[in-house]
Amino acid sequence: MKNLQNCCFMCAFFMNDPVEFEKTFPGFTVLSSAYGSTRADAGLCIKKERIFLPSRKACEEFALKQKNVRR
Amino acid sequence: MSNDKGDVVQSVPPKSRWTDLYTKEDWWAIWLGLFIILGAYLAFSSGSSFVKAIAINPGGLKWDNVSQIIAHFEANASKYIMQYVFWLVFFTISTAIMGIKPSKFIPSFTLLYIFSIIVFTICGWKHAASFNLEPPLVALILGLILANILPIPRWLDEGFRVEYYIKTGIVLLGATFPITLVVSAGPVALAQATVISVTTCLTIFFVGTKYFKLDKRFATVLGMGGAICGVSAAMAGASAVGAKKEHLYSTVTLVVIAALIMIVVLPIVSKVLGLPAGVAGAWIGTSEFADAAGFAAAVSYGHMAGNESAALHAFTLMKVIGRDMWIGIWSFIFALIACLKWEKEECGVAPSPMEIWWRFPKFVIGFFVASIIMTIVTSGYSFAEFSKNVQPNLIAPISSLRAWTFIFCFASIGLTTRFKELKSVGWPAVAAFSTGVMINVILGWFMSTQLFYGFWSAIK
């Protein structure tokens, strides 16, 4: 597995939990699912409101996440 | 950890891809589908009637008065309870492992099961076919009415897992789908799907960016959503190019509305045109976006034409085997373009070709495995033995359980669609998407009903 230390994955603004992801997009589950293979581990940057893969290089807004926290 | 809005966000930790085997519904659909097939075969081999008993379905009742319905459920109550428990246990455990709370899933699935029984019973009416009361359409329309009139709480959506149910059904469909048909018909399906996918995706992208001045990321998401498999492809495209949240949200709205319209319109138009079931199945396979919506249309037309098998087989070849394959390929191509051209500095790393595999809809593997297993198992029987013994005692129970998963899916589509929650979409996006859809439908019609008519009409 590649090192994700300096990627979106480690950022506090990156959200890719499937439960939260489905809640973010009402209507998403009508014909899709956040639990499917096609999503891979993609998530939403709640700072930039853009959708990224967790392996994307960290940007200037990066804020290190200290641990995974459930909402 | 908080951001400046005070929000705390959650990320799923990076995983080895082995964890996908129990955290992704594609794999769970494979495990459940193969478990049912194995169980059905063992029961068939040992002479047990257990699987046949829990595969009971009121859809074939052909009742014409209520007392017949009451008598049927009184006589078979234990079978329905066993069936309900079987589905409930497997779906609850698997969704719990994926992260869905059983406290929400169990009541939701229970309602879905009761709703499905009602739908099957309605469609088991002696005169249902005369009124086009096809199970997918009845489930969809009743579900839409309930979801948009009654205040159904959103937490109930946890059990309305459209994708999970349809994927399980597709794996079970593999058991009744000869692998020889995949081999013989696959190349034509792939060729047609390739033409459709490339043409539609590029049309939406170029029309959207050149004529309607859409953001190229938005055009990518719209293009993939229209060309491959709807919302799932849009999601894959969005993450490949770093699209905005509103791009995906708008595409969800367009795909859902267009897909729902086509579930109803395509079977009716096919009927008006008098298309053979296989031809209509191929056309629906090239025109519908999502697998779930497409199966609803294909099953409906299969019932209308009196040949569900041909419609399902042609649709599956075109959509599941042909078009769905493109999701990883398009994602990789657009990710490359985005990283190497659109935002070279931001992206950091070029996407891995493994993206194609990560995005691959894995349930298709289950479909192939089921098809190969059952083709081998049934190859040792003569035609007479197959018709007399294998068909009613092995194939029919699997088909009936598949019908249940399909109806769970179709009902879930209706029950999760709340029109007021869908985002309003600007006319440039509507125009670009509609242009692609029109080309998709017309090109699909031409290829299915003109270019390859002989091929698709011969599908059994």
Task: Out of B23, B249, B292, name the one closest to residue A25 (CB).
Answer: B249
Is the pLDDT score of A2 beyond 80?
no
Which residues of chain A have a CB within 8 Å of the CB of B99? Answer: 17-19, 35
Q: Is residue B13 part of a domain?
A: no
Is the pLDDT score of B349 beyond 70?
no
* CB atoms A33 and B362 under 8 Å: no
Higher pLDDT pick, B348 / B425: B425
pLDDT at A61: 87
- Angstrom distances, CA of residue B306 to CA of B131, B138, B302, B311, B402: 14, 17, 6, 10, 18
Is-contact B268 B421, C-beta < 8 A? no
Over residues B54-79, the pLDDT tens digits come to 999 998 889 999 999 999 999 999 99
Which residues of chain A have a CB within 8 Å of the CB of B162? Answer: 29-33
Which among A7, A8, A17, A30 is the top mutation candidate for probing chain B, defined by the most B β-carbons within 10 Å of its own β-carbon? A30
* CB atoms B20 and A65 under 8 Å: no
Q: Is residue A3 part of a domain?
A: no
Over residues A23-60, the pLDDT tens digits come to 999 899 999 999 999 988 899 999 999 998 887 888 88
Q: Is residue B301 part of a domain?
A: yes
The whole domain housing A22 covers: 8-52
Q: What is the Cβ-side half-sphere exposure of residue B438, based on CA atoms within 13 angstroms?
A: 7
Task: Out of A14, A35, A50, name the one closest to residue B9 (CB).
Answer: A14
Task: Out of A32, A41, A69, name the one closest to residue B1 (CB).
Answer: A69
Is the pLDDT score of A3 beyond 70?
no
Give dist(CA B109, CA B288) in Å, integer.
27
Q: Is residue B45 part of a domain?
A: yes
Q: Can you tell me whether residue B262 is helix, strand or coil?
A: helix
A5 touches chain B (CB under 8 A): no
Is the pLDDT score of B16 beyond 80?
no
Tokens standing for residue B360: 């691959």
| Alpha-carbon distance B73 to nearest alpha carbon in chain A (angstroms) | 31
Tokens standing for residue B359: 């995005």
Q: Is residue A44 part of a domain?
A: yes
Confidence bin at A1 (pLDDT 50/70/90): very low
Q: Is residue A71 part of a domain?
A: no
In this prediction the ipTM stands at 0.89
B258 touches chain A (CB under 8 A): no
Q: What is the CATH number of the domain that holds B327?
A: 1.20.1530
Give dist(CA B333, CA B351) in Å, integer.
9
Mean pLDDT of B175-201: 91
Is the pLDDT score of B347 beyond 70?
no
Is the pLDDT score of B340 beyond 70?
yes
pLDDT at B243: 95
pLDDT at B217: 94
pLDDT at B443: 95
pTM over 0.90: yes
Q: Is residue B5 part of a domain?
A: no
pLDDT at B338: 85
* CB atoms B25 and A1 under 8 Å: no
Say how many CB pairs under 8 Å bridge A and B: 202
B288 touches chain A (CB under 8 A): no
In the sheet that holds A43-45, the strands lie side by side as A14-15, A43-45, A50-52
Question: To which residue do tokens 């200037």 refer?
Answer: A60
Indicate the range of A60-69, B21-30, B257-266 predicted with least confidence: A60-69
Over residues B87-122, the pLDDT tens digits come to 999 999 999 999 999 999 999 999 999 999 999 999
Confidence bin at B4 (pLDDT 50/70/90): very low
Report how many domains make up chain B.
Answer: 1
Confidence bin at B1 (pLDDT 50/70/90): very low
Q: Is residue B9 part of a domain?
A: no
Q: Is residue B423 part of a domain?
A: yes
| Alpha-carbon distance B235 to nearest alpha carbon in chain A (angstroms) | 6
Task: Out of A19, A53, A57, name the one closest to residue B239 (CB).
Answer: A53
Is the pLDDT score of B29 beyond 50?
yes
Tokens standing for residue B455: 């091929």
pLDDT at B118: 97
Is the pLDDT score of B130 beyond 60?
yes
Confidence bin at B451 (pLDDT 50/70/90): very high
pLDDT at B346: 63
Q: Is residue A36 part of a domain?
A: yes
The whole domain housing B366 covers: 20-457
Q: Is residue A65 part of a domain?
A: no
pLDDT at B225: 93
pLDDT at B335: 86
Is the pLDDT score of B48 beyond 60?
yes
Confidence bin at B418 (pLDDT 50/70/90): very high
Give dist(CA B34, CA B15) in Å, integer.
25
A62 touches chain B (CB under 8 A): no
Give dist(CA A22, CA B431) in Å, integer.
27
B23 touches chain A (CB under 8 A): yes
* CB atoms B12 and A16 under 8 Å: yes
- Angstrom distances, CA of residue A68 to CA of A2, A14, B12, B38, B100: 19, 11, 7, 39, 18
| Nearest CA-CA partner of B404 in B210, B174, B183, B115 | B115
Is-contact B361 A38, C-beta < 8 A? yes
Question: To which residue do tokens 């040949």 refer?
Answer: B307
Q: What percent helix, strand, coil does chain B show, rounded to 5? A: 80, 0, 20
Q: Is residue A64 part of a domain?
A: no
Q: Is residue B243 part of a domain?
A: yes
pLDDT at B113: 98
Report how many domains make up chain A.
Answer: 1
Question: To which residue do tokens 């993450």 refer?
Answer: B239
| Alpha-carbon distance A5 to nearest alpha carbon in chain B (angstroms) | 10
Give dist(CA B335, CA B417) in Å, integer.
31
A39 touches chain B (CB under 8 A): yes
Q: Is residue A1 part of a domain?
A: no
Over residues B220-270, the pLDDT tens digits come to 999 999 998 889 999 999 998 999 999 999 999 999 999 999 999 999 999
Longest dimension (CA), chain A: 35
Q: What percent helix, strand, coil does chain A show, rounded to 5? A: 25, 15, 60
Is-contact B237 B221, C-beta < 8 A? yes
Which among B19, B21, B112, B239 is the top mutation candidate for probing chain A, defined by the most A β-carbons within 10 Å of its own β-carbon? B239
The full DSSP string for B166-217 is HHHHHHHHHTTS-HHHHHHHHHHHHHHHHHHHHHHHHHHHHIIIIIS---HH
Confidence bin at B14 (pLDDT 50/70/90): low
Is-contact B174 B370, C-beta < 8 A? yes
Scan residues 42-61 of A and list those with Cβ closer than 8 Å to B: 42-44, 46-47, 49-57, 59
Over residues B278-315, the pLDDT tens digits come to 999 999 999 998 899 999 999 999 999 999 999 999 99
pLDDT at B27: 97
Tokens standing for residue B36: 């049912």
pLDDT at A71: 38
| Nearest CA-CA partner of B231 in B257, B205, B212, B209 | B257
Over residues B355-411, the pLDDT tens digits come to 788 888 999 999 999 999 999 999 889 989 999 999 999 999 999 999 999 999 999
Is the pLDDT score of B13 beyond 70?
no
Q: Is residue A25 part of a domain?
A: yes
